Structure 1
Amino acid sequence: MNATSAAVDFSPTLRLLALAAALALLPLAWWWWRHRAAGALARRAALTVLTLFLTFDLVVFGAFTRLTDSGLGCPDWPGCYGEASPIAASVQIAGAEAQQPTGPVTERKAWIEMVHRYLAGAVGALILVLATLSVRARRELPFSLGWPLATVAWVIVQGLFGKYTVTLKLYPAIVTLHLFGGLVLLALLAVQAQRYHGRALALAAATRALLAAALLLLAVQVLLGAWVSTNYAVLACRGFPQCNGQWWPAPMDAQQGFTVLRHLGRAGEGGFLPAEALVAIHWAHRVFALVLVSALLALALALWRQAGGAARRAALALLALTALQVATGAANVVLHWPLAAALLHTGGAAALSGLLVSLQVRAVATSSSHVAVSRPSHRPASQ
């Protein structure tokens, strides 16, 4: 009985949850003070936007954690060597760093990894607060209660992805889903934020079809990009626009490259993953980028042709983000994967996702009502 009790120690988890709640109190206090005179609806809308912004920051910081090889900075989960902070685990971290000075565990990497977990916990706490407020005001919500509840459920899924990213030692399929899941969380919050504002955008049927197609293509490209990053295939192709001096690189091993159930650096049938597989992974992402960019340019042109300044502003934002993605994607190859370009590439993908999801929400609202709305349909003063 004593051995069993000693084996299950929840104290690090409880301390981490307490720390996450304390961190969440900072933006909550700012939000309450800033919007204390506003109506209940306006306060919930502001908190949704604030949580959306912090989730975007979390996605970028998650990329920073990945790009600095800090994903195993603390080799257990949720704590660090069973402690709630690297300070308490300093002896174990120092010992691991002494054995491998450039290995996965160093003091710097441990702090980066734990800060990422702290931020994730704080965002999760904010999402739980949002869901609680939504349940209390479910009759006045401008969207289904299923959206905030689904967001809470997805936070739990993301937490599990984060756990298995560590415990399975950067298993590529899990890491890819974890990276993609951050953008899914962003999209769920973007839907709610847009619904609070209630501004519909009148779009032609062809433009709405282009928008839906672009959103689907972006999801595929994000998965391909996450697979490139997860497998460290960014530099498998040297040069741009050619790959290793060829317009169509050969040889490539797509079968090995896209074997999903395998460990990092390992082939599906055993042994190490060949370089030809990494080339195939990189090249698939680059070729599909041409498809996505074509769709985004077509969508931007269709939006520009729509009547009204809102559609044209959306077209300009879409063009700017597309240009950013092309420039940072090329810079990652030409400049040998600099941290700044890689972070901008991730941030651009997150911003593109938020923009397309917001446009989709606005377009769906218009397609059912056929009325362009410029102001929220629910007034804060009435709450």
Structure 2
Amino acid sequence: MAPWSLFLLSLTALVIAVVPLLWVLRSPDPNKYRKLVRVCMFLTFDLVVFGAFTRLTDSGLGCPDWPGCYGLANPFLAHEHIARAEELLPTGPVTVFKAWVEMIHRFFAMTIGLLATAVLVWSWRRWRATGDKVYSIGVPLLTFLWICLTGAFGRWTVTLKLQPVIVTGHLLLGMSTLALFTWLASRQDRVPADPTQTAAQLARVRMLALLTAVVVVVQVALGGWVSTNYATLACTEYPTCAGRMVPAMDFEHGFHLWRELGKTAAGHYLPFQALTAIHWVHRNFALVVFLVAGYTAARAMRVPALRAPGRGIMWVLLAQAATGIATIYLSSPLVIAVLHNAGAALLVLLTAMLNYRVKSLLQASPAAHPKAA
């Protein structure tokens, strides 16, 4: 990419990033750092949802190079190249609409990267000035490095032509970034001790919260694998698939990670039974998530400080079940599919929030004693 085009690309991202930064600085909230972190969490959630929209509209190769579009800073400058490609293949992968969707996604990601840099610098300065662990740079530094790695996976998504393991990894890294910003935002609000709960009770809830985090991550990975392999409609009814509870499936080819999109490791076309296996595993593991996360949410709602994330998890689980089944029966309409991905991101956010709060409660409680005062 030419230096001038790279400069314009960076300048565009910087101008976009200045808008939320100025909004934070001009807000009446006295704690501007907390405000910035919350804005980053909100924008990362939006980025994950828009990333799902990018994937579901097949816009991942809307600009076939990286970080620009045909070596230029935006689709407007690359319009001639895009129009020529669209004329040859009117349905894509390169069209004017898809190019703009892909570049907006990239601008969005670069903006969050710049804001994460501001969070890191701000936390370092406040930590040096106050020594308060609320501003310790461990999590901000990890978040910044995680965003850099996510950007690398974004590049490989394009250069490796939507290879499923890369796209799924990109999704997991984006979700992890959301969890890190949620953890950082939760750290800004001190959670007081709850004298009604013993340390043993809180420890049990914490183990459940950790287990929920594990099953949610696995389910997000499985959902990403379904989406990146275009296996959403491999089963068109529920709870059966092809008229059977256990249909014919090919797990070996379906879950072979390092292969091209739509191909086996040997380069042959991926059999339909492999897509069925991918869909079937995601669908049935959802039951595990529903039971584990639902039980965790029910236990969390008994603790006043954990009631909000617990109730949120319960509602999101119900919404995910509804949108997941609707996606099958309505042949994967775009709005429902995007909402299903948004629900997954919200579940990640709430699970991270729950884990932080129960950890803080456990630390604030008289853990050295068998019972609370």
TM-score tier after normalising by the smaller chain length: over 0.9
Hey, what's the Cα distance between the residues in 2 that align with 1:275 and 1:144?
50
Equivalent positions of 1:50-61 (< 5 A) are 50-61=39-50
Question: Counterpart of 2:223?
Answer: 225
Hey, what's the Cα distance between the residues in 1 that align with 2:53 and 2:167?
14
Any unmatched runs of 5+ in structure 1? 1-7, 373-383
Question: Counterpart of 1:314?
Answer: 309
Question: Counterpart of 1:342?
Answer: 337
Alignment of 1:169 onto 2:166: no
Asked if 1 retains the 8 angstrom alpha-carbon contact of 2:260 and 2:267, the reply is no
Secondary structure class of the residue paired with 1:236: coil
Hey, what's the Cα distance between the residues in 2 that align with 1:248 and 1:200?
49
Question: Counterpart of 2:294?
Answer: 297
Asked if 2 retains the 8 angstrom alpha-carbon contact of 1:47 and 1:130, the reply is yes
Shift of 1:141: 4.1
Asked if 2 retains the 8 angstrom alpha-carbon contact of 1:134 and 1:141, the reply is no
Asked if 1 retains the 8 angstrom alpha-carbon contact of 2:193 and 2:364, the reply is no
Hey, what's the Cα distance between the residues in 2 that align with 1:201 and 1:275?
54
Letter in 2 for 1:343: V
Secondary structure class of the residue paired with 1:197: coil
Query: What is the alpha-carbon root mean square deviation over aligned residues?
Result: 1.5
Alignment of 1:78 onto 2:73: no
Please list the CA deviations of residues 111-147 of structure 1 after superposition, one character each: whole Å capped at 9, or x if unmatched: 1111111111111111111111011112234153111
Equivalent positions of 1:1-383 (< 5 A) are 9-35=2-28, 38=30, 42-138=31-127, 139-142=131-134, 144-199=136-191, 202=194, 204-249=202-247, 251-304=248-301, 306-308=302-304, 310-370=305-365
Hey, what's the Cα distance between the residues in 2 that align with 1:10 and 1:175?
28
Secondary structure class of the residue paired with 1:34: coil
Question: Counterpart of 1:378?
Answer: none
Hey, what's the Cα distance between the residues in 2 that align with 1:221 and 1:200?
32
Hey, what's the Cα distance between the residues in 2 that align with 1:369 and 1:186?
25
Asked if 2 retains the 8 angstrom alpha-carbon contact of 1:211 and 1:360, the reply is yes
Distance 1:143 1:50, change over 3 A: same
Shift of 1:363: 1.1
Secondary structure class of the residue paired with 1:204: helix
Letter in 2 for 1:213: L
Secondary structure class of the residue paired with 1:294: helix
TM-score, normalised to structure 2, is 0.93
Asked if 2 retains the 8 angstrom alpha-carbon contact of 1:201 and 1:311, the reply is no
Shift of 1:314: 3.0
Hey, what's the Cα distance between the residues in 2 that align with 1:290 and 1:73?
35
Asked if 2 retains the 8 angstrom alpha-carbon contact of 1:183 and 1:353, the reply is yes
Shift of 1:201: 6.8
Q: What is the percentage of aligned positions where both structures have the same residue?
A: 43
Count of residues in Structure 1 that have an aligned counterpart in Structure 2: 358
Hey, what's the Cα distance between the residues in 1 that align with 2:307 and 2:141?
34
Hey, what's the Cα distance between the residues in 2 that align with 1:283 and 1:14?
46
Question: Counterpart of 1:5?
Answer: none
Shift of 1:204: 2.6
Letter in 2 for 1:25: V
TM-score, normalised to structure 1, is 0.90
Any unmatched runs of 5+ in structure 2? 195-200, 368-373
Question: Counterpart of 1:377?
Answer: none
Hey, what's the Cα distance between the residues in 2 that align with 1:21 and 1:315?
37
Distance 1:200 1:217, change over 3 A: farther
Shift of 1:103: 1.7
